[in-house]
Protein backbone atom coordinates (compact mmCIF):
# COMPACT_ATOMS: atom_id res chain seq x y z
CA UNK A 1 0.00 0.00 0.00
CA UNK A 2 1.64 3.22 -1.20
CA UNK A 3 1.80 6.29 0.98
CA UNK A 4 -0.58 8.37 -1.08
CA UNK A 5 -3.00 5.49 -1.48
CA UNK A 6 -6.38 6.60 -0.03
CA UNK A 7 -6.58 3.34 1.92
CA UNK A 8 -3.23 4.08 3.58
CA UNK A 9 -4.28 7.63 4.45
CA UNK A 10 -7.58 6.42 5.88
CA UNK A 11 -5.77 3.78 7.96
CA UNK A 12 -3.45 6.45 9.37
CA UNK A 13 -6.41 8.59 10.41
CA UNK A 14 -8.12 5.60 11.95
CA UNK A 15 -5.00 4.73 13.93
CA UNK A 16 -4.90 8.30 15.27
CA UNK A 17 -8.58 8.04 16.19
CA UNK A 18 -7.95 4.80 18.07
CA UNK A 19 -5.11 6.39 20.04
CA UNK A 20 -7.36 9.37 20.88
CA UNK A 21 -4.83 11.46 18.98
CA UNK A 22 -6.90 12.63 16.04
CA UNK A 23 -7.33 16.38 16.12
CA UNK A 24 -10.52 18.27 15.47
CA UNK A 25 -11.19 21.97 15.29
CA UNK A 26 -13.73 23.96 17.23
CA UNK A 27 -15.58 26.31 14.90
CA UNK A 28 -16.36 29.57 16.64
CA UNK A 29 -19.58 31.14 15.40
CA UNK A 30 -19.33 34.47 17.17
CA UNK A 31 -18.50 36.36 20.32
CA UNK A 32 -21.33 36.37 22.82
CA UNK A 33 -20.59 40.01 23.53
CA UNK A 34 -18.69 42.31 21.18
CA UNK A 35 -15.35 43.21 22.73
CA UNK A 36 -15.16 40.23 25.09
CA UNK A 37 -12.93 37.41 23.79
CA UNK A 38 -13.73 35.07 26.70
CA UNK A 39 -17.34 34.24 25.74
CA UNK A 40 -17.83 32.24 22.54
CA UNK A 41 -20.87 30.88 20.75
CA UNK A 42 -20.03 27.45 19.37
CA UNK A 43 -22.77 25.39 17.71
CA UNK A 44 -25.48 27.02 19.81
CA UNK A 45 -23.53 26.61 23.05
CA UNK A 46 -22.04 29.47 25.06
CA UNK A 47 -18.48 28.62 26.13
CA UNK A 48 -16.12 30.44 28.45
CA UNK A 49 -12.80 30.31 26.64
CA UNK A 50 -9.85 29.22 28.77
CA UNK A 51 -7.33 28.22 26.15
CA UNK A 52 -6.46 31.16 23.93
CA UNK A 53 -3.12 32.99 23.95
CA UNK A 54 -4.89 36.34 24.06
CA UNK A 55 -3.41 36.97 27.51
CA UNK A 56 -4.27 40.67 27.74
CA UNK A 57 -7.66 40.44 26.01
CA UNK A 58 -6.48 42.76 23.24
CA UNK A 59 -7.69 40.67 20.27
CA UNK A 60 -11.16 42.24 20.53
CA UNK A 61 -10.09 45.71 21.69
CA UNK A 62 -11.77 48.36 19.49
CA UNK A 63 -8.49 50.26 19.11
CA UNK A 64 -7.02 47.40 17.05
CA UNK A 65 -10.02 47.14 14.73
CA UNK A 66 -10.13 50.94 14.38
CA UNK A 67 -6.45 51.16 13.48
CA UNK A 68 -6.83 48.36 10.95
CA UNK A 69 -9.93 50.03 9.48
CA UNK A 70 -8.25 53.41 9.15
CA UNK A 71 -5.30 51.79 7.39
CA UNK A 72 -7.53 49.80 5.05
CA UNK A 73 -9.55 52.87 4.11
CA UNK A 74 -6.36 54.53 2.98
CA UNK A 75 -4.27 51.71 1.54
CA UNK A 76 -6.62 48.79 0.88
CA UNK A 77 -5.96 45.36 2.27
CA UNK A 78 -3.14 43.26 0.78
CA UNK A 79 0.55 44.16 1.01
CA UNK A 80 0.98 43.24 -2.64
CA UNK A 81 4.36 41.54 -2.44
CA UNK A 82 7.20 40.42 -0.20
CA UNK A 83 8.91 43.13 1.88
CA UNK A 84 12.01 43.19 -0.32
CA UNK A 85 10.02 43.65 -3.53
CA UNK A 86 7.21 46.15 -3.05
CA UNK A 87 5.35 44.96 0.04
CA UNK A 88 7.03 47.05 2.76
CA UNK A 89 4.58 49.79 3.75
CA UNK A 90 4.92 52.74 6.10
CA UNK A 91 2.75 50.88 8.67
CA UNK A 92 5.22 47.94 8.70
CA UNK A 93 8.18 50.26 9.02
CA UNK A 94 6.62 52.22 11.89
CA UNK A 95 5.82 48.99 13.74
CA UNK A 96 9.41 47.76 13.33
CA UNK A 97 10.70 51.00 14.83
CA UNK A 98 8.22 50.77 17.72
CA UNK A 99 9.18 47.14 18.41
CA UNK A 100 12.88 48.02 18.36
CA UNK A 101 12.28 50.82 20.88
CA UNK A 102 10.02 48.59 23.02
CA UNK A 103 12.61 45.81 23.20
CA UNK A 104 15.54 48.21 23.63
CA UNK A 105 17.32 47.08 20.47
CA UNK A 106 18.64 48.82 17.39
CA UNK A 107 16.32 47.14 14.94
CA UNK A 108 13.40 44.77 14.60
CA UNK A 109 12.33 42.79 11.54
CA UNK A 110 8.72 41.73 10.97
CA UNK A 111 7.84 38.20 9.91
CA UNK A 112 4.38 36.99 8.95
CA UNK A 113 4.36 34.33 11.69
CA UNK A 114 6.48 33.26 14.64
CA UNK A 115 7.00 29.91 12.98
CA UNK A 116 8.61 31.67 10.02
CA UNK A 117 10.62 34.01 12.25
CA UNK A 118 12.23 31.06 14.02
CA UNK A 119 12.73 29.03 10.86
CA UNK A 120 14.27 32.04 9.10
CA UNK A 121 16.50 33.12 11.96
CA UNK A 122 17.98 29.71 12.70
CA UNK A 123 18.54 28.75 9.06
CA UNK A 124 20.14 32.13 8.31
CA UNK A 125 22.59 31.92 11.21
CA UNK A 126 23.58 28.26 11.25
CA UNK A 127 24.71 25.71 8.71
CA UNK A 128 26.27 22.27 8.79
CA UNK A 129 29.49 23.59 10.30
CA UNK A 130 27.69 24.91 13.36
CA UNK A 131 26.18 23.53 16.53
CA UNK A 132 22.76 24.39 17.91
CA UNK A 133 22.10 23.67 21.53
CA UNK A 134 18.42 23.69 22.43
CA UNK A 135 16.18 23.01 25.39
CA UNK A 136 14.33 19.73 24.86
CA UNK A 137 10.98 21.52 25.17
CA UNK A 138 11.74 24.33 22.72
CA UNK A 139 8.92 25.24 20.35
CA UNK A 140 8.59 23.08 17.23
CA UNK A 141 9.49 26.02 14.99
CA UNK A 142 12.95 26.40 16.57
CA UNK A 143 13.57 22.67 16.24
CA UNK A 144 12.31 22.61 12.65
CA UNK A 145 14.63 25.54 11.88
CA UNK A 146 17.48 23.62 13.46
CA UNK A 147 16.77 20.54 11.36
CA UNK A 148 16.41 22.53 8.16
CA UNK A 149 19.68 24.39 8.80
CA UNK A 150 21.70 21.18 8.69
CA UNK A 151 23.60 22.23 11.83
CA UNK A 152 24.40 19.72 14.53
CA UNK A 153 21.49 19.80 16.96
CA UNK A 154 22.13 18.90 20.60
CA UNK A 155 19.21 19.03 23.00
CA UNK A 156 19.51 19.35 26.76
CA UNK A 157 17.09 18.19 29.43
CA UNK A 158 14.46 20.83 30.08
CA UNK A 159 15.89 23.90 31.87
CA UNK A 160 19.05 21.99 32.83
CA UNK A 161 21.77 24.67 32.73
CA UNK A 162 24.55 22.24 33.69
CA UNK A 163 23.64 19.97 30.79
CA UNK A 164 23.53 22.96 28.43
CA UNK A 165 26.98 24.07 29.62
CA UNK A 166 28.33 20.57 29.00
CA UNK A 167 27.01 20.62 25.44
CA UNK A 168 28.53 24.06 24.86
CA UNK A 169 31.82 22.78 26.20
CA UNK A 170 31.90 19.75 23.90
CA UNK A 171 30.82 21.85 20.91
CA UNK A 172 33.76 24.10 21.71
CA UNK A 173 36.05 21.09 21.50
CA UNK A 174 34.93 20.57 17.90
CA UNK A 175 36.37 23.93 16.87
CA UNK A 176 39.19 23.57 14.39
CA UNK A 177 38.62 19.88 13.81
CA UNK A 178 36.44 20.29 10.75
CA UNK A 179 36.02 23.36 8.63
CA UNK A 180 38.15 25.58 10.85
CA UNK A 181 37.47 27.74 13.87
CA UNK A 182 36.25 30.78 11.99
CA UNK A 183 33.31 28.99 10.46
CA UNK A 184 32.03 27.30 13.58
CA UNK A 185 29.30 28.99 15.57
CA UNK A 186 27.39 27.90 18.63
CA UNK A 187 23.83 29.05 19.17
CA UNK A 188 21.87 28.39 22.33
CA UNK A 189 18.12 28.27 21.73
CA UNK A 190 15.39 28.52 24.32
CA UNK A 191 11.82 29.64 24.77
CA UNK A 192 11.40 32.41 27.36
CA UNK A 193 8.15 30.91 28.65
CA UNK A 194 7.56 27.28 27.69
CA UNK A 195 4.31 27.23 25.79
CA UNK A 196 2.82 23.97 27.08
CA UNK A 197 4.11 24.15 30.68
CA UNK A 198 4.11 27.85 31.48
CA UNK A 199 7.44 27.77 33.30
CA UNK A 200 10.16 30.34 32.61
CA UNK A 201 13.62 29.43 31.28
CA UNK A 202 16.63 30.03 33.58
CA UNK A 203 17.65 32.92 31.33
CA UNK A 204 20.25 34.61 33.52
CA UNK A 205 22.17 31.33 33.85
CA UNK A 206 21.81 30.52 30.15
CA UNK A 207 23.09 34.02 29.30
CA UNK A 208 26.07 33.49 31.62
CA UNK A 209 27.11 30.17 30.08
CA UNK A 210 26.58 31.54 26.57
CA UNK A 211 28.96 34.42 27.32
CA UNK A 212 31.43 32.04 28.91
CA UNK A 213 31.46 29.77 25.85
CA UNK A 214 31.26 32.48 23.22
CA UNK A 215 27.84 31.28 22.04
CA UNK A 216 24.88 33.35 20.91
CA UNK A 217 21.75 33.10 23.03
CA UNK A 218 18.45 33.34 21.13
CA UNK A 219 15.28 33.65 23.18
CA UNK A 220 11.84 33.00 21.72
CA UNK A 221 9.60 35.01 24.03
CA UNK A 222 6.29 34.28 22.31
CA UNK A 223 4.45 33.94 25.62
CA UNK A 224 6.40 36.53 27.61
CA UNK A 225 6.15 39.65 25.43
CA UNK A 226 3.36 41.89 26.70
CA UNK A 227 2.68 39.65 29.69
CA UNK A 228 5.73 39.54 31.94
CA UNK A 229 7.95 42.19 33.48
CA UNK A 230 6.80 45.44 35.09
CA UNK A 231 6.30 47.09 31.69
CA UNK A 232 5.43 44.00 29.63
CA UNK A 233 8.80 43.62 27.95
CA UNK A 234 8.78 39.93 28.76
CA UNK A 235 11.11 37.41 30.33
CA UNK A 236 14.24 39.47 29.57
CA UNK A 237 12.83 42.34 31.60
CA UNK A 238 12.01 39.92 34.39
CA UNK A 239 15.58 38.56 34.36
CA UNK A 240 17.18 42.03 33.85
CA UNK A 241 19.00 40.89 30.73
CA UNK A 242 20.38 43.34 28.20
CA UNK A 243 20.51 43.20 24.42
CA UNK A 244 24.20 42.44 24.83
CA UNK A 245 23.47 39.31 26.87
CA UNK A 246 20.66 38.12 24.59
CA UNK A 247 21.66 39.27 21.09
CA UNK A 248 18.49 38.01 19.39
CA UNK A 249 14.96 38.13 20.71
CA UNK A 250 12.03 36.60 18.85
CA UNK A 251 8.54 37.73 19.77
CA UNK A 252 5.11 36.92 18.40
CA UNK A 253 2.29 39.37 17.79
CA UNK A 254 -0.57 36.85 17.73
CA UNK A 255 -0.55 36.17 21.45
CA UNK A 256 -0.57 38.89 24.11
CA UNK A 257 -0.67 41.58 21.41
CA UNK A 258 -3.93 40.14 20.14
CA UNK A 259 -2.85 40.55 16.52
CA UNK A 260 -0.89 38.43 14.05
CA UNK A 261 2.73 38.07 12.99
CA UNK A 262 6.10 38.09 14.70
CA UNK A 263 9.39 39.94 14.92
CA UNK A 264 13.07 39.39 15.53
CA UNK A 265 14.96 42.15 17.35
CA UNK A 266 18.71 42.69 17.67
CA UNK A 267 21.53 44.96 16.64
CA UNK A 268 21.43 46.61 13.21
CA UNK A 269 24.11 44.39 11.69
CA UNK A 270 22.44 41.13 12.69
CA UNK A 271 19.00 42.28 11.58
CA UNK A 272 20.32 43.49 8.24
CA UNK A 273 21.97 40.11 7.76
CA UNK A 274 18.70 38.31 8.56
CA UNK A 275 16.87 40.53 6.09
CA UNK A 276 19.30 39.38 3.39
CA UNK A 277 19.36 35.73 4.36
CA UNK A 278 16.16 34.56 6.11
CA UNK A 279 14.33 32.66 3.40
CA UNK A 280 10.83 32.81 4.95
CA UNK A 281 11.32 36.59 4.99
CA UNK A 282 12.54 36.83 1.42
CA UNK A 283 10.11 34.45 -0.23
CA UNK A 284 6.82 35.29 1.42
CA UNK A 285 4.24 38.07 1.08
CA UNK A 286 4.35 40.74 3.77
CA UNK A 287 1.48 40.80 6.27
CA UNK A 288 -1.29 43.23 5.30
CA UNK A 289 -0.29 46.75 6.38
CA UNK A 290 -3.57 46.98 8.34
CA UNK A 291 -2.32 44.12 10.53
CA UNK A 292 0.81 46.13 11.29
CA UNK A 293 -1.30 49.20 12.08
CA UNK A 294 -3.50 47.18 14.46
CA UNK A 295 -0.38 45.77 16.11
CA UNK A 296 1.00 49.27 16.68
CA UNK A 297 -2.25 50.14 18.45
CA UNK A 298 -1.89 46.98 20.58
CA UNK A 299 1.70 47.84 21.47
CA UNK A 300 0.52 51.23 22.74
CA UNK A 301 -2.09 49.52 24.94
CA UNK A 302 0.52 47.08 26.29
CA UNK A 303 2.46 50.11 27.50
CA UNK A 304 -0.37 52.38 28.63
CA UNK A 305 -2.68 49.85 30.31
CA UNK A 306 -0.52 48.18 32.94
CA UNK A 307 -3.71 47.25 34.79
CA UNK A 308 -4.18 44.39 32.35
CA UNK A 309 -0.98 42.72 33.59
CA UNK A 310 -1.88 43.48 37.22
CA UNK A 311 -5.35 41.95 36.83
CA UNK A 312 -3.87 38.91 35.08
CA UNK A 313 -1.42 38.38 37.96
CA UNK A 314 -4.31 38.56 40.40
CA UNK A 315 -6.23 35.93 38.39
CA UNK A 316 -3.17 33.66 38.30
CA UNK A 317 -2.84 33.86 42.09
CA UNK A 318 -6.60 33.24 42.57
CA UNK A 319 -6.53 30.28 40.21
CA UNK A 320 -3.54 28.68 41.88
CA UNK A 321 -4.83 29.02 45.42
CA UNK A 322 -8.34 27.80 44.55
CA UNK A 323 -7.10 24.90 42.40
CA UNK A 324 -4.64 23.85 45.05
CA UNK A 325 -7.37 23.96 47.72
CA UNK A 326 -9.51 21.78 45.44
CA UNK A 327 -6.72 19.19 45.25
CA UNK A 328 -5.98 19.69 41.55
CA UNK A 329 -2.44 18.78 40.37
CA UNK A 330 -0.99 22.21 39.56
CA UNK A 331 2.20 22.66 37.56
CA UNK A 332 4.98 24.97 38.78
CA UNK A 333 4.02 27.99 36.67
CA UNK A 334 3.75 31.67 37.54
CA UNK A 335 2.50 32.65 34.07
CA UNK A 336 -1.02 32.65 32.58
CA UNK A 337 -0.30 29.15 31.22
CA UNK A 338 -1.52 26.79 33.96
CA UNK A 339 -1.55 23.20 32.68
CA UNK A 340 -3.06 20.23 34.48
CA UNK A 341 -0.96 17.29 33.38
CA UNK A 342 -3.15 14.23 32.95
CA UNK A 343 -1.02 11.60 31.19
CA UNK A 344 -3.25 9.49 28.97
CA UNK A 345 -4.67 11.06 25.84
CA UNK A 346 -8.09 9.47 26.31
CA UNK A 347 -8.42 10.86 29.83
CA UNK A 348 -7.34 14.37 28.85
CA UNK A 349 -9.86 14.25 26.03
CA UNK A 350 -12.64 13.02 28.32
CA UNK A 351 -11.92 15.81 30.82
CA UNK A 352 -11.94 18.43 28.07
CA UNK A 353 -15.28 17.12 26.80
CA UNK A 354 -16.76 17.07 30.31
CA UNK A 355 -15.66 20.69 30.81
CA UNK A 356 -17.25 21.62 27.50
CA UNK A 357 -20.56 20.16 28.66
CA UNK A 358 -20.28 22.47 31.68
CA UNK A 359 -19.67 25.48 29.41
CA UNK A 360 -15.86 25.77 29.59
CA UNK A 361 -13.54 25.42 26.64
CA UNK A 362 -10.13 24.00 27.60
CA UNK A 363 -8.53 22.00 24.79
CA UNK A 364 -6.79 18.69 25.51
CA UNK A 365 -3.19 19.02 24.35
CA UNK A 366 -1.75 15.73 23.17
CA UNK A 367 1.45 14.38 21.59
CA UNK A 368 3.20 15.40 19.38
CA UNK A 369 2.58 18.88 20.82
CA UNK A 370 3.68 17.53 24.21
CA UNK A 371 5.87 14.49 25.06
CA UNK A 372 4.17 11.06 25.08
CA UNK A 373 2.39 10.26 28.33
CA UNK A 374 1.94 13.93 29.29
CA UNK A 375 -1.35 14.82 27.65
CA UNK A 376 -2.84 17.73 29.49
CA UNK A 377 -5.45 20.40 29.85
CA UNK A 378 -3.64 23.59 28.93
CA UNK A 379 -5.56 26.23 30.84
CA UNK A 380 -4.72 29.82 30.00
CA UNK A 381 -5.91 32.91 31.79
CA UNK A 382 -6.57 36.31 30.25
CA UNK A 383 -6.92 39.81 31.61
CA UNK A 384 -10.37 39.70 29.99
CA UNK A 385 -11.48 37.04 32.51
CA UNK A 386 -13.13 38.07 35.77
CA UNK A 387 -12.42 36.58 39.18
CA UNK A 388 -15.86 34.96 38.94
CA UNK A 389 -14.81 33.27 35.66
CA UNK A 390 -11.77 31.81 37.36
CA UNK A 391 -13.69 30.60 40.41
CA UNK A 392 -16.34 29.02 38.17
CA UNK A 393 -13.59 27.28 36.17
CA UNK A 394 -11.97 25.83 39.28
CA UNK A 395 -15.34 24.56 40.47
CA UNK A 396 -15.95 22.88 37.11
CA UNK A 397 -12.43 21.43 37.11
CA UNK A 398 -12.95 20.02 40.60
CA UNK A 399 -16.21 18.40 39.48
CA UNK A 400 -14.81 16.76 36.35
CA UNK A 401 -11.67 15.73 38.24
CA UNK A 402 -13.75 13.98 40.91
CA UNK A 403 -16.04 12.33 38.38
CA UNK A 404 -13.10 11.09 36.30
CA UNK A 405 -11.45 9.26 39.21
CA UNK A 406 -12.41 5.75 37.97
CA UNK A 407 -11.28 6.58 34.41
CA UNK A 408 -7.97 7.97 35.68
CA UNK A 409 -7.35 4.91 37.86
CA UNK A 410 -8.14 2.54 34.97
CA UNK A 411 -5.84 4.39 32.59
CA UNK A 412 -2.98 4.29 35.08
CA UNK A 413 -3.36 0.52 35.43
CA UNK A 414 -3.48 0.12 31.67
CA UNK A 415 -0.43 2.34 31.18
CA UNK A 416 1.82 0.67 33.77
CA UNK A 417 2.88 -2.49 31.87
CA UNK A 418 3.35 -0.52 28.65
CA UNK A 419 5.74 1.85 30.44
CA UNK A 420 7.79 -1.08 31.65
CA UNK A 421 8.34 -2.62 28.24
CA UNK A 422 9.04 0.65 26.42
C1 LIG B 1 3.15 30.29 19.08
C2 LIG B 1 4.60 30.15 19.14
C3 LIG B 1 5.37 30.36 18.00
C4 LIG B 1 4.78 30.55 16.64
O5 LIG B 1 4.22 31.80 16.49
P6 LIG B 1 3.11 32.02 15.38
O7 LIG B 1 3.07 33.47 15.16
O8 LIG B 1 1.83 31.46 15.95
O9 LIG B 1 3.54 31.25 14.16
C10 LIG B 1 6.76 30.34 18.14
N11 LIG B 1 7.32 30.07 19.33
C12 LIG B 1 6.59 29.83 20.43
C13 LIG B 1 7.28 29.54 21.73
C14 LIG B 1 5.21 29.85 20.37
O15 LIG B 1 4.48 29.57 21.43
What's the pLDDT at 199?
98
Asked if residue 254 has its Cβ within 6 Å of ligand 1, the reply is yes
Query: Which residues of the chain are modeled with pLDDT < 50?
Result: 179-180, 418-422
Residue nearest to atom 6 of ligand 1 (CA): 114
Residue-wise pLDDT tens digits, 324-359: 999 999 999 999 999 999 999 999 999 999 999 999
What's the pLDDT at 184?
81
What are the backbone angles phi and psi of residue 132, rounded to the nearest 5°? Answer: -110, 130
What's the pLDDT at 19?
87
Number of the ligand 1 atom closest to the C-alpha atom of 141: 10
- What single string gives the DSSP state of each residue in 140-180? HHHHHHHHHHT-EEEEESTT-HHHHHHHHHHHHHTTTTSS-
**Positions marked active-site:** 195, 223, 255
Asked if residue 114 has its Cβ within 6 Å of ligand 1, the reply is yes
Give the Å distance between the CA of 382 and the centre of ligand 1: 18
Asked if residue 191 has its Cβ within 6 Å of ligand 1, the reply is yes
Give the Å distance between the CA of 253 and the centre of ligand 1: 9
209 alpha carbon, distance to own chain's centre = 24
Global pTM reads 0.94
Give the Å distance between the CA of 299 and the centre of ligand 1: 18
Asked if residue 111 has its Cβ within 6 Å of ligand 1, the reply is no
What's the pLDDT at 21?
84
Calculate helix-pair angle for 114-125, 140-149, nearest 10 degrees. 30
Asked if residue 236 has its Cβ within 6 Å of ligand 1, the reply is no
What's the pLDDT at 397?
98
Asked if residue 223 has its Cβ within 6 Å of ligand 1, the reply is yes
Give the Å distance between the CA of 117 and the centre of ligand 1: 9
Asked if residue 222 has its Cβ within 6 Å of ligand 1, the reply is yes
Number of the ligand 1 atom closest to the C-alpha atom of 252: 7
Q: What residues have CB less than 8 Å from 357, skipping those under 6 apart?
A: none
Residue-wise pLDDT tens digits, 158-172: 999 999 999 999 987
What's the pLDDT at 20?
85
Give the Å distance between the CA of 204 and the centre of ligand 1: 22
Handedness of CA 34, 312, 225, 154 (dihedral sign): negative
Give the Å distance between the CA of 316 and the centre of ligand 1: 22
Residue 383, classed as helix, strand or coil, is coil
H-type helices in 266-386, by residue range?
Answer: 268-277, 279-282, 289-304, 307-325, 345-357
Asked if residue 296 has its Cβ within 6 Å of ligand 1, the reply is no
What's the pLDDT at 422?
36
What's the pLDDT at 421?
39
Asked if residue 198 has its Cβ within 6 Å of ligand 1, the reply is no
Number of the ligand 1 atom closest to the C-alpha atom of 260: 7
Ligand 1 pocket test: pick from 114, 220, 258 the residue with the most ligand atoms within 8 Å of its Cβ: 114
Amino acid sequence: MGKLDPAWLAAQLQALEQRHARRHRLTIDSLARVGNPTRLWVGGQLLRNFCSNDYLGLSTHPALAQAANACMQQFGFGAGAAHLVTGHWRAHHALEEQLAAFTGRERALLFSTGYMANLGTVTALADRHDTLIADRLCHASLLDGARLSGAKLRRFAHADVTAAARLLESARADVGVGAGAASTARLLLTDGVFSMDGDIAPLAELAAISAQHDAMLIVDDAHGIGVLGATGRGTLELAHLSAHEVPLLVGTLGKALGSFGAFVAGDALLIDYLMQRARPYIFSTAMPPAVAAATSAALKLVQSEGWRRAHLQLLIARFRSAASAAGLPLSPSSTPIQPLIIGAEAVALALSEALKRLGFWVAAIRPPTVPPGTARLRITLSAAHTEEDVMALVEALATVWRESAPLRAASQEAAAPVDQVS
